[in-house]
Amino acid sequence: MSPLPPNSRTARPPLGVGMVGHSFMGRVHSHAWRSVNAFFDLPLQVDLRVVAGRDAARVGAAADRLGWAESTTDWRELLDRDDIALIDICTQGSVHAEIAVAALEAGKHVLCEKPLANTPAEAEAMARAAADAAERGVLAMVGFNYRRVPALSLARALVAEGRIGTVRHVRARYLQDWIVDPEHPLVWRLVREQAGSGALGDIGAHIIDLAEFLTGDHITGVSAITETFIHKRPLGTAQSGIGAQVADTPSDAEAAAPDASAAGIGTVTVDDAAIFLARTSGGALATFEATRFATGRKNALSIELNGSRGSVAFDFEAMNDLWFHDLDEPAATSGFRRITVTEPTHPYTGAWWPPGHGLGYEHSFTHQARDLIDAIANGTTPRPSFEDGLRVQRVLAAVEASATDNSRWTPVEV
Amino acid sequence: MSPLPPNSRTARPPLGVGMVGHSFMGRVHSHAWRSVNAFFDLPLQVDLRVVAGRDAARVGAAADRLGWAESTTDWRELLDRDDIALIDICTQGSVHAEIAVAALEAGKHVLCEKPLANTPAEAEAMARAAADAAERGVLAMVGFNYRRVPALSLARALVAEGRIGTVRHVRARYLQDWIVDPEHPLVWRLVREQAGSGALGDIGAHIIDLAEFLTGDHITGVSAITETFIHKRPLGTAQSGIGAQVADTPSDAEAAAPDASAAGIGTVTVDDAAIFLARTSGGALATFEATRFATGRKNALSIELNGSRGSVAFDFEAMNDLWFHDLDEPAATSGFRRITVTEPTHPYTGAWWPPGHGLGYEHSFTHQARDLIDAIANGTTPRPSFEDGLRVQRVLAAVEASATDNSRWTPVEV
Amino acid sequence: MSPLPPNSRTARPPLGVGMVGHSFMGRVHSHAWRSVNAFFDLPLQVDLRVVAGRDAARVGAAADRLGWAESTTDWRELLDRDDIALIDICTQGSVHAEIAVAALEAGKHVLCEKPLANTPAEAEAMARAAADAAERGVLAMVGFNYRRVPALSLARALVAEGRIGTVRHVRARYLQDWIVDPEHPLVWRLVREQAGSGALGDIGAHIIDLAEFLTGDHITGVSAITETFIHKRPLGTAQSGIGAQVADTPSDAEAAAPDASAAGIGTVTVDDAAIFLARTSGGALATFEATRFATGRKNALSIELNGSRGSVAFDFEAMNDLWFHDLDEPAATSGFRRITVTEPTHPYTGAWWPPGHGLGYEHSFTHQARDLIDAIANGTTPRPSFEDGLRVQRVLAAVEASATDNSRWTPVEV
Amino acid sequence: MSPLPPNSRTARPPLGVGMVGHSFMGRVHSHAWRSVNAFFDLPLQVDLRVVAGRDAARVGAAADRLGWAESTTDWRELLDRDDIALIDICTQGSVHAEIAVAALEAGKHVLCEKPLANTPAEAEAMARAAADAAERGVLAMVGFNYRRVPALSLARALVAEGRIGTVRHVRARYLQDWIVDPEHPLVWRLVREQAGSGALGDIGAHIIDLAEFLTGDHITGVSAITETFIHKRPLGTAQSGIGAQVADTPSDAEAAAPDASAAGIGTVTVDDAAIFLARTSGGALATFEATRFATGRKNALSIELNGSRGSVAFDFEAMNDLWFHDLDEPAATSGFRRITVTEPTHPYTGAWWPPGHGLGYEHSFTHQARDLIDAIANGTTPRPSFEDGLRVQRVLAAVEASATDNSRWTPVEV
């Protein structure tokens, strides 16, 4: 048997990771950390050191299953470990700020799930902490993973190259249907104290970020409606685990709302749906819709940009495709092209399989891990930054302010 | 040779039609009048009597080409003809009211293209005239033809039967791109005095009507943005006829704006795009977008409704399909069904070709003609009525009011 | 009122048409003759003179409904009429040869529905008659209407321009499902004496012709399987008219098989499905499938060509789209483009509606009528010619020969 | 920090794996072995022990990157290791038989990539060895991974439940385009001695297996054409790695053909494309096409089954969708349903992400690993078995025999 060659796992410097939370997001992040070195040639070797959670038995089982060397019920222990250089925050939003600020102050790089926080004030504190940390070479990144779906990375590249010209329209929707049934229990995502907001922050945050990412512009103001269609729901945990898993916000425990174990009825305190109009700094008009009541739509994130020279369109239901329209083509042979984004020349995809062998949801997280590792090794600033996350938070806040004031036009705070 | 059988064209009572306008809408209406008796078994035989237009040579050529027996440059002549029972108004919106009111007062049934008028005041006068006429058995209908695309007729039937339950979301867009080029001339559709509004009234009116038609509910208020991306355009007529034809409003002369013949630059005085949020009387949230700047989208009218028991979705780019999701299906085999709406049991389609032999754009007008003839023969009230058209007009006015007042929430006048 | 202008219907020379058969094909042909002058600027004005059928009452009613001036039960009367210049044969295949040859000999131009005949011998006689007639300036055309679906006309233009290079693969299918139910009655299309063959000649003929049309090459040999899944069916007419209408072969009377009125069971004597491999004179490999047992597929004609420089793909279920892949594009932005074939620069579509306002099934027949009128006026040879139809007939015969001889490779007779 | 809980990685019995080959298939198999325990609750814990390859440096680097504890240049060493219970064969087909037979005789379970071998004789020897081994509790499985794409697993379940009735048609295609360029070098996959056959065995094998898997029937005979479009190609390795990676057959070294390093031209000795007709034991007609010359199609595996009660259709370009048509639905609301196969009740998908969060190509391999581990733990027979693989091999042989004998109908040896 041969020994490991020079450029081996043991030879590369390790990047010790500590993760907080081990539910939906924790599972997908773990997969990314486990996989990234097998597909990308990186200067650091990921070491899955410790996972933190609230319940000892559950976090222990998660460590076992997800590949972490150790587990703990106290996330603060991670801050003191010399073998941990990066804290990955996969909890529900209500504790993002506390953990992230502490980690950055302790000199740990931070990857924090989205939305950055539950309030602009928290997000501001986090962005300040990130700015301070950056001066010490400590980096922070927020997990808007969809930026790194290859088709969307390619869309950004085309827009940045001017292939669609000046953007006039953004059309973004994120549609789910997991709480259409009025008997679906009052899980924590339906409780404001824990989730911050409902569909708005959970999935609306993604399309806000994508709109800014793809255009390279900022959202300057909004006019909004939010709605809660079903106000009372039974307490109790989601039987099939669907309720717990379906939404897209991280949480370290997919616990139901307070008193969930008691029989009875509780009140939904977040939005079921949010729709809003916006303008961008680049002069585009934008429409947004985030809802958990689009019956039959499971995870239908779609976004289209129309520009003066072309258009791009994406639908997560066919996540390996980007549709591109180039106005420079002769009209007789012009049309939206279905680009299967799996070529070696496409973003990220050369690391995976041959053309046409499509990727899945979790790959965007592996790409996120890749880019963050690269940034850490090279000392560059990873994006989306906490500043980017803060801007999304301010859009979320503007949406809520507009919705509670009769759809009044509400500028986004700068 | 055999003589014509008893139930012959000559044996059936005639329905004399006079049409005002002979451009895009005039062409498609003529086709409907020429074709309807060949496909539907109707109690009246259409007689294409007279077409009216402004220019003698052009209207004469149109009569020749489109199959009308006579032509005139004075539409008022149609009012005095005993052999004309129905006036079909295919002009630009600015003269709808004058013609329609006069025709109804003269005891002629009226089919009027959409939008009903250029202002709510005009539309109100028309609705009053229609109400008065109805007491005398004289009927009026507004030409929201998309209601009679079979897939949308079927969608309405499914919604009315309760197949999708309570509607929570309406998502409607009408996207075109024919004036993306800044060199496209300032045709009449870009001039407020003639067109009333831009994309809003021209194509936005269709999706407003469809939203009300499909839900069976009314739009109660809106928050809106309108935008004109290109303010100055060269005068002159559209070279290729595209500019003249592409928009969807009728006109009796696709004349360019005033002074179009002069060299120079003119000002666009209507919106290029309109986006708005709305609520319906049934409790749904709705988003609307109408634009002529969606590069690559030619006539992309799409609408989706999500309800408590299911969903329907339609896209005119595949106009023979209706997508239907039924929440009652077991999850394991559940999904949006692509219903090819060409079965004998589907609305209108049994009259045409065998299953799978799809229809085109103009068939909706033939179906409109069919239903109007049926209503005239049976003395029933055709829909969409002028009252329906007035309601759309009020929504258009509310959109403009909201857009000019900073997206302020604007209730729709009842 | 103005008189008709100089270039009027009455001023243009008439083209008197006599049609034999008035069922499915007769209906769609009539529509084409009625409509063609309204959309295309042609040197001749169509005059729908006489329709011939077997039953006096039925043909009289058809004349009334479809817009013919007169009707007759003897198609030979058409040959003697000076006011008839063109005979349009919409009968079942078993009488094509007799009528076509007689008409050509009588100096009438002929449009004959497909397949040209029921046997190669008949088709040869027809092709000879057409060749003789051509010397006297009398023209003949066979009705492979799909060539004139604009998307397929565009596909041919792209191939002819070399945009896809050398064709390596042809993949053609025509799928229907109207006799999946074993209780569907034994209509005439299931009886060899009347229909010649089953799915093979009825719909397979279309894709054979399209393969030759699109490639510009000939099919040189085949290896085939045919199958009859259900051998016994109840006698009787199709209750809903579906059975009678669904198939794509013309017939002057959608009569059921002999003894259909008697209760009982009859034998299906044609194929339900045919599949075959082929080679083309250009070196391509081709696969064909024609079936009436593709459950859920209503009229799914699809064809794709792959060449050394690109590909084209078409599916009649979305008949206004052509998909085009251009290998010259950079890989990063390469993909099949969905060309919505409704631009003014596309074949035929400039005559109809603005971009994006799609056409339907029957438009291909109107385009066929347009091109035939043009050919008659200009004395040019219309395509597809009877020679083209004969070649298809020989492919059909080779398929049957191969299928009955254990899929033996069978060259197509030249 | 908490210790690992009782049901921990260390507590579960290990399953030591040794893998031969580390190219495309080796990479994807490694990913499956690394990931399977994180997503599925299994009785055994995979231990990636040793990877074998021909070149010491390359196999060492692969071990490092892919997560194997050790590497070797002699696959026979794996047979003697007590800590290896399973040999995973990811080499090119020419050495499958030798390795598999030796491993089975050594008492190791075997997973062997497809096609099972390069000749029926080899496959027969392997099937005999598997049968012998089975008596000693040693298991063998062949890697037709597409069976475990969830949408195809669901398709099989629906067919097995009788939801589509008796299958009448199978329509299978596997289209790629990676050697359209005549300058693409003569890689080993284009050389008969190494690859056995070309598109036929590489990708055609998959659709043959799927046809048998989905129908539950066997292919009884074929009529075939194979073709080599480009006979001479430059020697040399594929520059971009595309040539090496794109094809779907495993290989332990993506070496070019003999003399590849020498400048010059070599001869392609395998098929570029294969098309064939078939009949199944269940009475269905089937068409197959496998090609590397379908310009623009990257990995377009599609298959459709039409039955007496319904249909299923799948296209790998949208691999998370299954299309299902149920003839029992009323015609008015009938249509192909797009089932997004990501529900907890669907095969495998409950282990991954919430509904709508689609999977990618490699997941099918993880599912394969899961089922094989389960079979090993439970002593059940895994499918597809070597017997299944042998049957595919015999179909491949029949295709080649038919193609070389003028498409003669060729029964598949039983």
Tens-binned pLDDT, residue by residue, of chain B (414 aa): 565 555 577 688 999 999 999 999 999 999 999 999 999 999 999 999 999 999 999 999 999 999 999 999 999 999 999 999 999 999 999 999 999 999 999 999 999 999 999 999 999 999 999 999 999 999 999 999 999 999 999 999 999 999 999 999 999 999 999 999 999 999 989 999 999 999 999 999 999 999 999 999 999 999 999 999 999 999 976 543 333 433 333 333 344 444 444 569 999 999 999 999 999 999 999 999 999 999 999 999 999 999 999 999 999 999 999 999 999 999 999 999 999 999 999 999 999 999 999 999 999 999 999 999 999 999 999 999 999 999 999 999 999 999 999 999 999 998
Decide if pLDDT at C241 tops 70.
no
Spatial contact of D81 and D217, defined as CB atoms under 8 Å apart: no
Confidence of residue D414 (pLDDT cuts 50, 70, 90): confident
Of A297, A356, A361, the CB nearest to D353: A361
Measured between CA atoms, how close is A333 to chain C, in angstroms?
A: 6
**D8: nearest CA in chain A?**
A64
Cβ of A221 under 8 Å from any chain D Cβ?
A: no
Domains of chain A: 14-146 (3.40.50.720), 149-411 (3.30.360.10)
Indicate yes or no: CB of C287 within 8 angstroms of CB of D285.
no
**For residues D66 and A167, what is the distance between their CA atoms, to the nearest angstrom?**
43
Chain C residue closest to D273 (CA)? Answer: C285
Pick C327's closest partner by Cβ from D168, D180, D287.
D180
pLDDT band with cut points at 50, 70 and 90 for residue C240: very low
Q: Which of D147, D399, D412, D145 is nearest to D290 (CA)?
A: D399
Residue reference for tokens 């030798």: D98
pLDDT digits (tens, 9 = 90+) for B331-376: 999 999 999 999 999 999 999 999 999 999 999 999 999 999 999 9
D404/chain A closest Cα distance in angstroms: 31
Contact state of B331 with D340 under an 8 Å Cβ cutoff = no
| Residue B154 near chain D (CB below 8 Å) | yes
Assigned token pair, B400: 């403009």
Partner-chain contact B169 A273, CB within 8 Å = yes
- Nearest residue of D to residue C404, measured between CA atoms: D409
User: Smallest CA–CA separation between B347 and chain D, in Å?
Assistant: 9
How far is the C-alpha of C3 from the C-alpha of D214, rounded, in Å?
70
Compute the average pLDDT of residues C385-407: 98
A 10 A CB-CB count for C314 gives: 26
What is the spatial distance between Cα B248 and Cα A190, in angstroms, rounded to a whole number? Answer: 44
Nearest to A407 among B308, B309, B407 (CB): B407
- Chain B residues close to A408, C-beta within 8 Å: 406-409
* CB of C74 less than 8 A from some CB of B: no
Backbone angles phi, psi at C143, to 5 degrees: -90, 60
- pLDDT interval class at C2 (50, 70, 90): low
Of B154, B158, B334, the CB nearest to D339: B334
What does the pLDDT look like over A110-124, one tens digit per residue? 999 999 999 999 999
The CB-side HSE value for C372 (13 A sphere, CA atoms) comes to 32
Taking CA–CA distances from B359, the nearest residue in chain C reads: C360
For residue C287, list chain D residues with Cβ-Cβ distance below 8 A.
Answer: 275, 287, 289
Which candidate in D207, D277, D408 is best for mutational testing of the C interface (most C CBs within 10 A)? Answer: D277
Predicted confidence band of residue D236 (pLDDT cuts 50, 70, 90): confident
- Residues of D within 8 A of A348 (CB-CB) are none
Q: Which of residues 34-73 of B touch A (CB under 8 A)?
A: none
Best to test chain D binding among C166, C169, C200, C405 (most D CBs inside 10 Å): C169
Q: List pLDDT tens digits, range B51-110.
A: 999 999 999 999 999 999 999 999 999 999 999 999 999 999 999 999 999 999 999 999
C292-326 pLDDT tens trace: 999 999 999 999 999 999 999 999 999 999 999 99
Question: Count of residues for chain B?
Answer: 414
Inspect the interface and report whether the beta carbons of A60 and D300 lie closer than 8 Å. Answer: no
In sequence order, which ranges of C94-231 are alpha helices (DSSP H)?
96-105, 120-135, 150-160, 192-195, 199, 205-215
Q: Please check whether residue B407 touches A, CB under 8 A.
A: yes
Q: Between D65, D71, D246, which is nearest A38 by CB? A: D65
Beta strand extents in D196-272 (DSSP E only): 219-227, 232-234, 265-267
Chains that touch A (3 or more CB pairs under 8 A): B, C, D
Cβ contact (<8 Å) for B168 and A273? yes
The model's pTM is 0.95
Residue type at B146 in one-letter notation: Y
Q: In the 8-state DSSP scheme, what is residue C3? A: P
User: Which tokens in the block code for residue A394?
Assistant: 């301010």
Return the pLDDT at C236: 77
Contact C231, C179 (CB under 8 A): no
Segment 337-366 of chain B within 8 Å of chain D by CB = 337-340, 343-346
User: Does D93 have pLDDT greater than 80?
Assistant: yes
- Whether the CB of B229 is below 8 Å from some CB of chain A: the reply is yes
Give the number of beta-carbon pairs within 8 Å between C and D.
129
The HSE-up count of residue B43 (CA atoms within 13 Å, CB side) is: 9
Nearest to D278 by CA among D202, D175, D207, D195: D207
Interface test mutation site (partner B, options D153, D320, D325, D333, max chain B beta carbons within 10 A): D333
pLDDT at A414: 85
Element (H, E) at D370: helix D363-378
Cα end-to-end span (Å), chain A: 61
Could you tell me if A106 and A18 are in contact, meaning their C-beta atoms sit under 8 angstroms apart?
Answer: no
B357, C359: Cβ pair inside 8 Å?
no
Residue D339 sits at φ, ψ, to 5 deg, of -90, 115
For A6, residues 6+ apart whose C-beta sits below 8 A from its C-beta are none
ipTM of the complex: 0.93
CB C25 within 8 A of CB C113: yes
Evaluate whether C217 touches D219 at the Cβ level (below 8 Å). Answer: no
> Which residue of C362, C363, C367, C370 to mutate against B (max B Cβ within 10 Å)?
C362
Dump strand ranges (E) for D9-62. 14-20, 45-52
Chain C residues whose CB is inside 8 A of the A324 CB are 333, 335
User: Closest to A407 (Cβ–Cβ): which among B177, B273, B277?
Assistant: B277
Query: Residues 159..198 of D with a Cβ closer than 8 Å to A: which?
Result: 176, 178
D107: alpha, beta or left, given left = phi > 0 and alpha = psi -120 to 50? left
DSSP B29-58: HHHHHHHHHHHS--SSEEEEEEEE-SSHHH
How high is the mean pLDDT of chain D?
A: 92
Tell me which long-range contacts D8-13 makes (C-beta under 8 A, separation of at least 24).
D8/A60, D8/A64, D9/A64, D9/D37, D9/D45, D12/D42, D12/D43, D12/D44, D12/D45, D13/D43, D13/D44, D13/D45
* β-pairing verdict for D321-326 and D336-340: antiparallel
Using CB atoms, list chains with 3+ pairs below 8 Å to chain C: A, B, D
The owner of tokens 């740990």 is: A108
Integer angstrom CA distances of residue C32 from B103, C147, C160: 33, 15, 27
| Least CB–CB distance from D4: residue in A64, A298, A362 | A64
Closest residue by Cα to residue D272 from D211, D206, D351, D181: D181
With contact defined as 3+ CB pairs under 8 Å, the chains touching D are: A, B, C
Answer yes or no: do A335 and C340 touch at CB < 8 A.
yes
How far does A139 lie from chain B, in Å, by closest CA? 39
Residue found under tokens 């399909």: B321
Rounded Cα distance between C23 and C65, Å, is: 12
What's the rounded Cα separation, in Å, for the pair B321 and C297?
Answer: 13
Rg (CA), chain C: 21
**Cα–Cα dist D360/D28, whole Å:** 12
Q: Which phi and psi (to 5°) does residue B37 adopt?
A: -70, -20
Partner-chain residue, chosen from C332, C343, C345, that has the shortest CB–CB distance to A346:
C332
Q: CB B337 to CB D336 under 8 A?
A: yes
Q: Of C202, D275, D344, whose CA–CA distance to A240 is shortest?
A: D344
Which pLDDT value is given to residue B254? 42
How far, in Å, CA of D335 to CA of B325, rounded?
Answer: 11
Q: Which chains touch B (3 or more CB pairs under 8 A)?
A: A, C, D
Instruction: Look at A291 and B325 and tell me if their CB atoms are within 8 Å.
Output: no
Distance, CA of B329 to CA of C109 (rounded, Å): 57
Q: How far is A33 from chain C (nearest CA, A)?
A: 28
Distance, in angstroms, between B70 CA and closest chain C CA?
A: 7
For B311, which of A168, A276, A295 is closest by C-beta distance?
A295
Strand locations in B281-348 (E): 285-291, 300-307, 310-315, 321-326, 336-340
Q: Residue B14 contacts by C-beta under 8 Å, 6 or more apart in sequence?
A: B44, B45, B46, B47, B83
Chain A touched by C314 (CB under 8 Å) = no
